[in-house]
Structure 1
Amino acid sequence: MANLKKLLAGAMALCMAGAMFASCGPEESKNDSKSGNTNAGTNDNKGGEEGGNEGGNEGGDAAGDLKEEKLPNIPQNVEGSDASKKVLKIYTWNDEFKSRLRAFYPEYDAEKSGYSIGADGADVVGEHEYLKDGTEIVWVTTPSADNAYQNKLDEDLAKQADSDDKIDMFLIEADYALKYVNGPYVKPVTDLGLTDADLADQYQYTKDIVTDSNGVLEGVSWQATPGLFAYRRDIAKEVLGTDDPTEVQAQLSDWDKFNEVAKKMKDAGYFMLSGYDDAYRTFSNNVSHAWVNSNYEIVVDDNLMKWVDQTKDYTDNGYNNGTSLWDDQWNADQSSAGKVFGFFYSTWGINFTLAGNAGDELQGQYAVCEGPQAYYWGGTWICAADGTDNPDTVADIMKALTCNKDIMLDITKKTQDYTNNKSAMEELAKDFSSEFLGGQNHIALFTAAAPNIDASKAGPYDQGLNESFQAAFKDYFLGSVDKETALQNFYKAAQEKYPDLKVAK
């Protein structure tokens, strides 16, 4: 319990959280990228090549995964002002939810907001945005890299109870959802009037991720995010002799086959993957335990070390192009100038990132298949801030954008996002065609994968630990440190970010 309090309090705890918390401590825009410790001397985990158990997970597993208890919500001491009640204040880190609300929420006043779609496909809006009842929308946007979004959100949520300028909604990701749903700042969706019937068609895992330790649902999402492998049809034809998704999948259906194709790509002058992080989620979403156990110890799963070994091999053999997620070369590798065969992407990535990076030249030149291992990546959830002075509006947005089948169908048809409505997606799985994917019905593949997603290993520290792990091992891939040093550097960075955590012995 004390550890979650530390996590929630963040850096602002020193000046404002004394009355609420007993202790304190520090805590992808689509292109958000990554990530002297006084406790370093206590770390005697001999992971890596020398210790045999690379992640040091033997002692950690025995403790079981971390299970935090729900903190009670903080009483609202101050009511929202009249001015606050006329403003819908929403916290987010990029433009994805903004575009969904602008384009698909029936009560958004597009004319008064000056809303249109620009020539580059981006939203164009005026200085102020409004709903049709006159409520002004105010976006508070902070990029998510290095926990900046969470830090800003934590700081402002901690002021909510004593402020007359209320936060109404905020967005969260899977990597840190439990931090907020088990924290004291979210209003349960049932308190807003959403019923089991409203939510019946949503994928169960999307509800599990935002269910607190008492079994109370604390948020909703308009999307589900199963992952696939997106590949260049032209390169597949040249190297594999076919671009047919079923036939390509047969050559990529497990990691041994995937690695064999990587060698073929190299021999033909192509890269299998762009960079170090591309396959990370296929490994991190298939771990056997959470990042942190019940003793508040960091435990590196064996599957993450398999990612390390594979990525080192790909780097040394020239199977990847040495990029990092979201950097300029990684983006460029998805264009017609790139020499990369494929990318692991979940639903949002294909329509929100890959299609934009591919440009007009590669319209119809990508396809998708299941790849070597099932996984999911990301997802965005809408939470109502406890203390919102616009609860009816928040509830209506949640119902419209996450429960309305017709709106879900419209979102998928117009944006190719995979929406969180089983019957809508099953309907499209029978008859859908993606122009970007050369006419392929990728919704059918997503629909087959989505019910099998298991988010049970998610935890409140995931974003920071995932980022620190990837960053630490980049030095190993580059050859500037050995594997053991990279592992110890990860532990050091993780404990600097989360001083309340220990390293499993």
Structure 2
Amino acid sequence: MKKTLSVLTATAMTATMLVGCGGGAASSSTAPAPESTADAPASSAAAEPAAEEGKVLNIWCWNDEFQSRFNAYYPEVKEVAEDKSTTTLNNGITVKWTINPNDNNNYQNKLDEALLKQDSAAADDKIDIFLIEADYALKYVDSEYTLDIKKDIGLSDADLANQYQYTKDIVTVDGVQKGTAWQATPGLFAYRRSIAQDVLGTDDPTEVQAALSDWDKFNAVAEKAAAKGYKMLSGFDDSYRTFSNNVSAGWVDGTTVKVDPNMMNWVEQTKTYTDKGYNNKTSLWSDQWAADQGPSGKVFGFFYSTWGINFTLLGNSLATPETEGGKLEVGNGIFGDYAVCQGPQPYYWGGTWICAAAGTDNVATIKDVMYSLTCDAAIMSQITKDTQDYTNCKSAMDAIAADPTFGSAFLGGQNHIALFAEVAPTIDMSNIGPYDQGCNDTFQSCFKDYFNGTVDIDTAKKNFEDQIKVKYPELSSVEWPA
């Protein structure tokens, strides 16, 4: 594993398409959160740490999303430093936050370097908790650098029973679970109500879903939208996760990269959309892509999972977002003009997992953090009610889904949790693999030249083959579907 981390650290990798449930940089979330933990539910598993526990709990992450959740909802928080660099717990432990943005694989590179020095680091400098994403989860889960959250940390099957199964599967190797998540990330299709009304004659989510329930229907609506002067999607990557989550097998078999036929379906659709003007030729996270979600945008809709709707889309849809007392000022953009439906296929996108680092001297505190922020139904429910994020607790989400008084003002009063609750149990992680991030990033990058017409499809394929072999020298060949 040390050799693997060294190789991966030295390998130049593109930034992951998923940037941490809301942004690749260490920027503040737009979601409102309580100003203190005074009203947060108490953890039923709270316990004083063992006497031998370390005085510092080092947590590594790539943005401040988990930091904000921790400071707002972990019941044992006593005080947060003005610059947010540290958090003091009731038991006297100081939480030290190390935040390295994801851009250009920066977070993983620095994390790898630190983990390789973990054995020789001073006790209060050792990493205790670090966060990972689905695209590269197996790199850390299938290693000696992460602890078994049951055997080593002490969480029980009963503690974890209410979590969605796929969130456990992602971080499980040979029956050993190495992480736990506070959120589940099923995906939906978020569309502009006003554009749907113009194109389809309705903005009702049930009727819009009927018009978009498979790819043939989706493509037909794209043609209608274009005739009205709209783009169906913003860019090349928007539908990617919907296709990549519905493949028949993983990327790699032995030492061979096998490109699934559904990936070529994405290529074919995206080329068609580009040539016919059904998209705006943007890339995820670009300025134009963000602008397409705002008041001046002419795009029918966007594929987004839970974090994307309540963080990224909400932020981009406001012309000049302002806050007062932690709450968004409404009315300065197109707040309320979006709604969501299931779209043509179920999928998931992203998520964040909490891992305990081998060598930690804060096991009891880590157990309490993991329990409180990923297992406690009351806390999970409160996070969703406050932030509209979809948390990893089936009973809590089912209750909110059935609540006739719950709705998102941003989505025109729609209870989007009800739709997420239908998708989350269907997520299948059987095709996840350790090469997902590199293969996904490289595949998208190489085919953008084809979409733009600067290379033909055979050249795009050859570029993918060449680049993936450089990125992963142990992979000997690439097979394409007939």
Q: Same fold (TM over 0.5)?
A: yes
Distance 2:362 2:465 in 1: 43
Q: Which residue of 1 aligns with 2:74?
A: 105
Structure 2 residue aligned with 1:162, among 97, 101, 120?
A: 120
Do the aligned partners of 1:179 and 1:459 also contact (CA within 8 Å) in 2?
Answer: no
From 99, 110, 114, the equivalent of 1:141 is 99
Q: Which digits, 9 at most, give the CA deviation of each residue in 1:249-284, with x for residues without a partner?
A: 010000011001101111111110011000000000
Q: 1:193 to 1:498 in 2, by over 3 A?
A: same
Name the structure 1 match of 2:249.
Answer: 289
Q: Does the alignment pair 1:339 with 2:339?
A: no
Aligned to 2:134: 174
Which residue in the other structure is 1:192 paired with? 153
Change beyond 3 A, Cα 1:477–1:453: same
The residue that corresponds to 2:408 in the other structure is: 434
Q: Quick one: which amino acid aligns to residue 108 of structure 1?
A: V
Contact residue 401 and residue 418 of structure 2 kept, 8 A = yes
Match of 1:406 in 2: 378
The answer to whether the 8 Å contact 1:230/1:342 transfers is yes
Alpha-carbon distance, 1:390 to partner: 1.3
The CA deviation at 1:451 is 0.7
Gaps of 5+ in 1: 14-24, 34-81, 115-124
Aligned in 2, Cα 1:457/1:145: closer, same or farther, shift over 3 Å? farther
> Deviation at 1:84?
9.9
Identity, % of aligned pairs?
Answer: 61
**1:139 aligns to what SS in structure 2?**
strand
1:262 to 2:222 alignment = yes
Letter in 2 for 1:478: N
Secondary structure of 2:302's counterpart equals strand
Instruction: Give the match for residue 395 of structure 1.
Output: 367
Aligned AA (1:267): A
Q: Is the 8 A contact 1:426 1:444 kept in 2?
A: yes
Q: Which amino acid aligns with 2:276?
A: N
SS at match of 1:147: helix
Q: Is the 8 A contact 2:9 2:108 kept in 1?
A: no
Q: TM-score, normalised by structure 1?
A: 0.82
Segment of structure 1 superposing worse, 332-341 or 492-501:
492-501
Helix, strand or coil for the counterpart of 1:186? Answer: coil
Structure 1 residue 11 displacement after superposition: 5.2
Post-superposition, which runs of at least 4 consecutive aligned residues in structure 1 deviate over 6 A?
none
Shift of 1:147: 2.7
Instruction: Please tell me whether the aligned partners of residues 178 and 355 of structure 2 are also in contact (alpha carbons under 8 angstroms).
Output: yes
Which residue of the other structure, out of 434, 438, 457, is the alignment partner of 1:464?
A: 438
Q: Partner amino acid for 2:346?
A: A
* Conserved 8 A contact 1:6-1:26: no
Assess, with a 3 A threshold, how the Cα gap between structure 1 residues 265 and 12 changes in structure 2: closer, same or farther: closer
CA contact (8 A) 1:209 1:458 kept: yes
The 5 A counterparts of 1:15-54 are: 28=19, 30-32=22-24
Contact 1:26 1:499 survives alignment (8 Å): no
AA partner of residue 315 (structure 2):
G
RMSD: 2.0
From 153, 162, 172, give the equivalent of 1:211: 172
User: What is the SS of the residue equivalent to 2:96?
Assistant: strand
Does residue 228 (structure 1) correspond to residue 188 (structure 2)? The answer is yes
CA distance in 2, matches of 1:203, 1:305: 30
2:231 is aligned, of 244, 247, 271, to 271
1:264–1:352 CA distance, 2 compared to 1 (3 A) = same
* Distance in 1 separating the partners of 2:293 and 2:53: 44
2:344 is aligned to 372
1:490 matches 2:458: no
Question: Which of 134, 138, 143 lines up with 1:183 in the alignment?
Answer: 143
Counterpart residue number, 2:47: none
- What letter matches 2:117 in structure 1? K
Greater Cα shift, 392-401 or 83-92: 83-92
Give the distance between the partners of 1:127 and 1:384, measured in 2 at CA: 20
Q: Distance in 2 between matches of 1:149 and 1:497?
A: 18
Specify the SS of the correspondent of 1:322: coil
C-alpha deviation, 1:308, in angstroms: 0.6
Q: What CA deviation, in whole Å up to 9, does each residue of 1:147-178 have, x standing for no partner? A: 33222211211111122221000111111111
Indicate if the aligned counterparts of 2:225 and 2:232 stay in contact, CA closer than 8 A.
Answer: yes
Aligned residues of 2:256 and 2:478 also touching (Cα < 8 A): yes
8 Å CA contact 2:182, 2:392 repeated in 1: yes
Structure 2: state its 5+ residue gaps. 14-18, 26-50, 319-331
Q: Secondary structure at the match of 1:323?
A: coil
| TM superposition shift of 1:409 | 0.3
> Once the two structures are superposed, what CA deviation does each residue of 1:217-244 show, in whole Å capped at 9, x if it has no partner?
1110011111100000011111110000
Cα offset for 1:5?
6.5
Check the 8 A contact 2:53/2:363 in 1, yes or no.
no
Whether 1:328 and 2:300 are equivalent positions in the alignment is no
Q: How has the CA–CA distance of structure 1 residues 456 and 146 changed in structure 2, closer, same or farther, with 3 Å as cutoff? A: farther
Match of 2:43 in 1: none
Partner of 2:250: helix, strand, or coil? Answer: coil
Amino acid in the other structure paired with 1:307: W
Aligned length: 430
1:91 deviates by 1.4
Inter-partner Cα distance in structure 2 for 1:170 and 1:381 = 8
Q: In the TM superposition, what is the alpha-carbon distance from 1:6 to its structure 2 partner?
A: 5.0
Corresponding residue number in structure 2 for 1:60: none
Structure 1 residue 8 and structure 2 residue 5: aligned?
A: yes
- One-letter amino acid matched to 1:375: Y
Contact 1:6 1:500 in 2 (8 A): no
SS in 2 for 1:10: helix
CA deviations over 1:18-51 (Å, ceiling 9, x no partner): xxxxxxx778053449xxxxxxxxxxxxxxxxxx
Aligned to 1:45: none
Which of 311, 315, 318 aligns to 2:274? It is 315
Deviation at residue 130 of structure 1 after TM alignment: 2.3
> Does the 8 Å CA contact 2:465/2:478 hold for their aligned counterparts?
no
After superposition, what is the alpha-carbon deviation per residue over 1:316-352, rounded to whole angstroms, capped at 9, x for unaligned? 1110111100011111111111111100001111112
- What SS class does the counterpart of residue 88 from structure 1 fall into? strand
Contact 2:235-2:279 at 8 Å conserved across structures: yes
